[in-house]
């Protein structure tokens, strides 16, 4: 039995704004009944102010899906379309006093239903759905695409396969796609790190923009491993050991689930090396040693 908050149970047992709106100004539908969850959202909008005057929903799904849909309608009713567009799946979960992580995909479905409905109001194609239709399906059990997995990783800062399953259902069936999901997570997080590094200050500014001394570089490398790398690896049962530092060459040994993994070299370069470079602010090279 899931641990639901009182507010989740209230919105499940007494959902607000259930039904449909005749001659609605906008309708959006997401999900797939064959996969267990689907939601349809209806809006009436005051054209001059673009304020939502009425909202209703129909949902097929579990208690979390119904509660999330109900909460969404409460959050957006009376708001302008611009204000409603800022609502995220985390806002829905926060309003409900949190959701079990295994049910976060229900709040994601609510956010996507809102996005689809707003697109419909403006006569536009639903962007996320359009992208999904043209990207490769990774999870055939639930029809989840590569673009969808990348989206939930980016929007919710996910780091593990289990989290992706909780937010999108990908990998929750036969589990044959778990390795591919792991690769997409690593690629996406590496891209996120590069993007963040491009928009942040150079770490060497802390030492007056002069070249780092060997001791300063070693300290930053050890900090990066302890604060950035090791926690990410441990989420999936892996670990890392710092063996030696020789100038800008960092020698490490992968441990736990990472040791002997087929994606070890990818993890070493795209996760470990990227995070260390971002933290140090210099081109360092990470090399694996066996010991």
DSSP class of 32? E
Query: Whole-angstrom Cα distance, residue 4 to residue 96?
Result: 9
Overall size of the chain counted in residues = 291
Main-chain phi, psi angles of 287, to 5 degrees:
-125, 140
**Which member of 106, 139, 177, 258 is catalytic?**
106
Which residues neighbour 32 within 8 Å (Cβ) at sequence distance 6 or greater?
Answer: 38, 142, 143
- Assess whether 141 carries a catalytic annotation: no
Query: Whole-angstrom Cα distance, residue 13 to residue 212?
Result: 61
Query: Whole-angstrom Cα distance, residue 21 to residue 57?
Result: 9
Query: Whole-angstrom Cα distance, residue 278 to residue 291?
Result: 27
- Assess whether 35 carries a catalytic annotation: yes
The strand pairing partners of 241, in sequence order, are 253
The encoded tokens of residue 102 equal 């295994």
Query: Whole-angstrom Cα distance, residue 130 to residue 127?
Result: 5
SS3 79: coil
Give the containing element (helix H, strand E) for 145.
Answer: strand 144-145
**Which member of 35, 62, 141, 261 is catalytic?**
35
Judging by beta carbons within 10 Å of its beta carbon (0-12, 13-18, 19+), is residue 70 exposed, middle or buried?
buried
The strand pairing partners of 44, in sequence order, are 54
Q: Please identify every residue annotated as catalytic.
A: 35, 106
């Amino acid at each position: 039995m899931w641990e639901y908050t009182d507010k989740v149970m209230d919105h499940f047992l007494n959902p607000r704004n259930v039904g449909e709106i005749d001659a609605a100004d906008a309708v959006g539908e997401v999900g797939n009944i064959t996969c267990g969850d689907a939601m349809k959202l209806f809006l009436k909008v005051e054209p001059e102010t673009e304020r939502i005057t009425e909202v209703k929903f129909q949902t097929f799904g579990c208690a979390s899906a119904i509660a999330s849909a109900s909460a969404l309608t409460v959050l957006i009713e009376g708001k302008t379309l611009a204000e409603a567009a800022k609502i995220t799946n985390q806002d829905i979960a926060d309003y409900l006093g949190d959701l079990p992580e295994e049910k976060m995909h229900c709040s994601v479905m609510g956010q996507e239903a809102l996005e689809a409905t707003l697109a419909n109001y403006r006569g536009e194609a639903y962007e996320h759905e359009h992208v999904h239709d043209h990207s490769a399906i990774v999870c055939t059990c639930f029809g989840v695409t590569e673009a969808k997995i990348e989206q939930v990783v980016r929007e919710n800062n996910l780091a593990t396969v289990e989290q992706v399953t909780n937010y999108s259902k990908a990998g929750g069936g036969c589990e044959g796609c778990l390795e591919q999901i792991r690769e997409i997570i690593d690629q996406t997080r590496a891209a996120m790190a590069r993007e963040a590094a491009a928009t942040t200050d150079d770490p060497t500014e802390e030492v007056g923009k002069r070249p780092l001394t060997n001791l300063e570089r070693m300290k930053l490398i050890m900090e990066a491993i302890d604060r950035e790398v090791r926690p990410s690896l441990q989420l999936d049962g892996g670990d890392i050991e710092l063996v030696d530092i020789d100038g800008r060459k960092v020698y490490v040994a992968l441990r736990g689930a990472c040791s002997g993994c087929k994606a070890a070299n990818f993890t070493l370069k795209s996760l470990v090396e990227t995070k260390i470079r971002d933290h140090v602010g210099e081109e360092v090279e990470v090399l694996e040693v066996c010991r």
